[in-house]
Structure 1
Amino acid sequence: MIFLDIETTGLDPRKNSIVSIGAVDYIGPHHFYEECRIWKGAEISQEALNINGFTPEQITNTNKLSQKEILENLIDWTHKIIDITLAGENIAGFDLQFLKESFTRECLKSPFGHRTDDLHSIARNHYMRRGISPPLVKNKSSINLDSTLIYVGLPPEPKPHNALRGAILEAEAYHRLTYGRGYLAEFREFEIPKYLEHR
C-alpha cells in the first residue's frame, strides 16, 4: 500500500498542475518525493500556493523536472513495491483524480487501480464504533486530515503543506487507527490515545 499526497496549483485536475508528489511505501517504508514545474498553460490559484508554500517562480522554473518526468519517476519507484494500492486522505476524490488526468495529459499509463484506502472513511468508522457521532458541518462530515491527526494524538499538519510530510502523517494516522499503536519512530513522543488501544 502506498500513502500518497500531492500538492497542486488548484483543485481542478483539468486546469491545474501537480507541483509535487510525496509517497510512502507502507510496508517499506521507502519514500518518494519530487517537485516539478507546471505544464504550459496550467492555471495557478494563489490560494493553493498559500497552502503549499510554492512561489510562481518555483513552479515555473525550467530547471525543474517536468510533470511527465516526475510521473515517470513515480512509476519507476512503484516497480519495487508489492502492493501499490493508494491510500490517504480523500485519496480517490482528489489525489487519484489528479494523477489520472495528469497521466492522460502526459500520454502515460497509470500503474494505479481505482480501489483505494481512504483515511477519512477509516477515521469516521472509528468514531462510529465508539458510539460517537462523527463531526459534521452543514450536515456533512467535517473530518479532514488535521482533525484525524488530532484524533489519533498527533499535531496538525505543518504549514505550508509538503506532499511527503502529508503522506508520512497519513501513514502514521492509519497505523494508529488500525492497530492502536505507533508506526514511525519519529512520532513516538506523541502518546496514543487510550480509545485507540486494542483490548
Structure 2
Amino acid sequence: MIVVDVETTGTDEKKNSIVSIGALDFYQPTNQFYQECRIWPGAEISDEALKVNGFTREQINDPTKPSQRETLENFLEWLKYISDITIMGENPFFDKDFLNASLEREGLEFRFGRRIRDLHTTCCNAMNLNFLPIPLKDRTSDLNTDKILAYCGLPVREGYHNALEDTRLEAEAFSRLVYGKHLLDGFKKYSVPSCLVRK
C-alpha cells in the first residue's frame, strides 16, 4: 500500500491544480516520492489553500518546475515498482479523486481504484479495541489528523502542510495503530504509547 498526500490550489479537482505530491511505500518505507510542480494554465487558486500549504503564487507558477503532467508521469514511473498501490492516508478520498481527475485532465490513462484505507477509521478501530471513547463534536467524530497523531505519541504538525512530511507522519501513525511499532527512523525518539504496543 502507498501513503499519499497531495497539496493543491484548492479543493475542486476540476478547477484546481496539484502543487506537490508526496508518497511512501508502506511496506518499503524508505521508498519515497516527492515532487513539486507548476500549476496548469488557468487553474483556479484559493488563497486559503495557499495559507495551508505555504506555497506562493510565484512558486506555483515557476516555469523551472516540472508541469503537472510531468510530475504525474514521474509519480506513475515511481509506482511501477510497487506491488500494492492501494492508497492510504488521512483523507484518501480527496487525494485519490484529485489524482484521478488530474490524470484525466493530462490525458494519462492510469486511474487509481476505488478501494482506500483511511487513518480516521484505523484510529477509531484502535480506540475501540482499547475501550476508549471516540471524541465527539456535534454528535460526530472529532478526530482530526493532529488528534490522531497525539494519540499515536507523535508530534502535532506545525506550520505549513508539506506533502512528504504529512505522508511520513501518516505512515508512522498507521504503523503504530495497526502493528504497535515504529516504522520510520525519524520518529523513533517518540515512544509508541503503551495502549498501542502489541503484547
User: Same fold judged by TM-score > 0.5?
Assistant: yes
**Shorter-chain TM band:** over 0.9
The answer as to 2:95 corresponding to 1:95 is yes
> Which residues in structure 2 correspond to 1:24-173 (within 5 Å)?
24-29=24-29, 30-92=31-93, 94-173=94-173
CA distance in 2, matches of 1:98, 1:126: 28
May I ask how many residue pairs the two structures share in their alignment? 198
Post-superposition Cα deviations, 1:63-104, rounded to whole Å, max 9, x if no partner, equal 111111111111000011111111111202x11110111111
Report the 3-state secondary structure (helix = DSSP H, G, I; strand = E; otherwise coil) of the residue aligned with 1:195: coil
- What do you get for the CA RMSD once the two structures are aligned? 1.1
- Aligned to 2:195, the other structure's residue is in SS state helix
**Cα offset, 1:10, TM superposition:** 0.9
| Percentage of pairs with the same residue | 49
TM-score by length of 2: 0.96
- Checking the alignment, whether the CA contact within 8 Å between 2:152 and 2:176 is kept in structure 1 is yes
SS in 1 for 2:33: strand
Question: Structure 2: how far apart are the matches of 1:11 and 1:137?
Answer: 23
Q: Take 2:40 and 2:32, find their aligned partners in 1: how far apart are those partners?
A: 24
CA drift of 1:5 comes to 0.4
- Partners of 1:3 and 1:87 within 8 A in 2: yes
Q: Secondary structure at the residue paired with 1:27?
A: coil
State the match for 2:189 in structure 1: 189
Structure 2 residue runs without a partner (length 5+):
none
Counterpart CA distance in 2 for 1:171 and 1:78 is 17
Contact 1:75 1:111 in 2 (8 A): no
Q: Is the contact made by 2:100 and 2:111 (CA closer than 8 Å) also made in structure 1?
A: no
TM-score by length of 1: 0.96
TM-fit CA distance, 1:133: 2.0
User: Is 2:3 aligned against 1:6?
Assistant: no
State the one-letter code of the partner of 2:120: H
Secondary structure of residue in 2 paired with 1:192: coil
Deviation string 1:17-74 (CA, Å, 9 cap, x unpaired) is: 1100000011222010000111111111111111111000000111111111111111
Relative to structure 2, which stretch is displaced further, 127-136 or 76-85? 127-136
Amino acid at match of 1:107: G
SS of the equivalent of 1:47 reads helix
Alpha-carbon deviation of 1:111?
A: 4.6
The runs of 4+ residues in structure 1 deviating greater than 6 Å are none
